Each structure stands twice: as structure tokens, then as C-alpha cells.
Homo-oligomer: A and B are copies of this chain.
Amino acid sequence: MANVRADAVRNRRLLLDAAAAEFAEHGTEVSIARIAARAGIGKGTVFRHFATKEQLMAAIFSDQLESLVARGEALREGADSGAALLEFMAAGVELRSFCQAFTPAMREDPQIRAASDRLVAVARSLTDRACRDGFVRDDVTGHDVVLLINAACQAVAPLGDAVPGLWRRYLSMIFDGLRPEAAHPLPVPAPDSLTPG
């Protein structure tokens, strides 16, 4: 801390903000050069802070996953457990980086693994509570909820940002599928983890 210069921390902040914005707007395939230009720093500076592009992505996405974990933990104490679970899922869809954080390549990173483990844990916690209160069918797990957030996220991907709030429609439909009233037996058991093997 004492050994780090002031301009270094400032540039790091600029870099993280610019990269997060570019990833959100144009996906992870944007070039490092473009991110550096947006941040107003040189391309070499990017690689001074993060050795590879993957490490940069991991830093940003694990941060955003952790913020969602915090949101979920806060929602555990609300009164309406059903609305809390729905709000948690909505928050997950809203940070669109969600889906990008879950590519096979990204899951190698230990920060991403840790964050998604904690995400599944808080999702299970919210789900169990909503289940006890009768808002959610009893055969749905934390992994299910995380994957369904991803599904809702991708449902509207074909349309781009043409209809801004449309994802709420499909999240609402998917959430209706979690209610006990319409539950039909599921043909396949829930997965054990989000990582293959």
C-alpha cells in the first residue's frame, strides 16, 4: 500500500471502469487497445496491472458477482421471501456481465470459482426460505436459480437492446415456472456444481 504510487491506483480505477463499461456494451471480445483508449491510458499500462486479458476479465466479473452476493445476503432479511428471490434474480439479470462470467474459460479462474460458489450458496439460502413459505416448488435448488438467471439474461440477447425492459417479461415467466401451482415432475435431477466434474 505504501509502496504504490498515486497515479497507479488512479489509472487502475480508470482501467477497471472503462473495461467494465466496454464489456457491458460490446462483450468480452472488445480489444485491449479499445479499453485502454476509453480509459485514457496506454495499452502497455493495461498489462502492467493485469498480466493477461483473462485476468482483467476475472477481476471485473468476480467483483460484480460478489456485489450480487452482497445483494442476495441483504435480501435474506426482508419480509416477503418470494419477492426477495425474484428481486435477487432481477438483480442478477440486470448486471449483464453475468452470462459472460460463466464461460468455460472463465471458470478456471480461482476468483470466479470462489465468487460463483458463494453465489450459489446465497441463491440456495433465498430459495429454501421462499420454499418454506410456499412461494416456490420444493424441487428447485440454488444451482437451478443461478442457471435460470443466466437463461433469462440470454432470452432477450437476440434482440440486443432494442426493447430495454423486455427481460422482465421473461424473468417473470420463468419465475412463474418456479411456483408450486404449476409444478410438474422434473425429468432430470439438479446438477451438483457449476463446474464440470
Binding site for B on A (CB under 8 A): 99, 102-104, 107, 140, 144, 147-148, 150-160, 162-163, 165-166, 168-170, 172-179, 181-184, 186-191, 194, 196-197
Instruction: Find chain B residues with CB under 8 A from A190 CB.
Output: 169
Chain B residues contacting A102 (CB-CB under 8 Å) are 157-158
> Are A173 and B178 in touch, CB under 8 angstroms?
yes
Residues of B within 8 A of A151 (CB): 151-152, 154-155, 170, 174
Q: Are A174 and B173 in contact (CB under 8 A)?
A: yes
A194–B158 CA distance with the chains assembled, in angstroms:
7
27 pairs of residues in contact across A and B, judged by CB atoms under 8 Å:
A99-B154, A102-B157, A104-B160, A140-B173, A144-B170, A147-B155, A147-B156, A147-B170, A148-B155, A148-B170, A150-B157, A151-B154, A151-B170, A154-B154, A154-B155, A165-B187, A166-B188, A169-B186, A172-B186, A173-B177, A173-B186, A175-B177, A176-B177, A177-B177, A177-B178, A179-B182, A181-B181
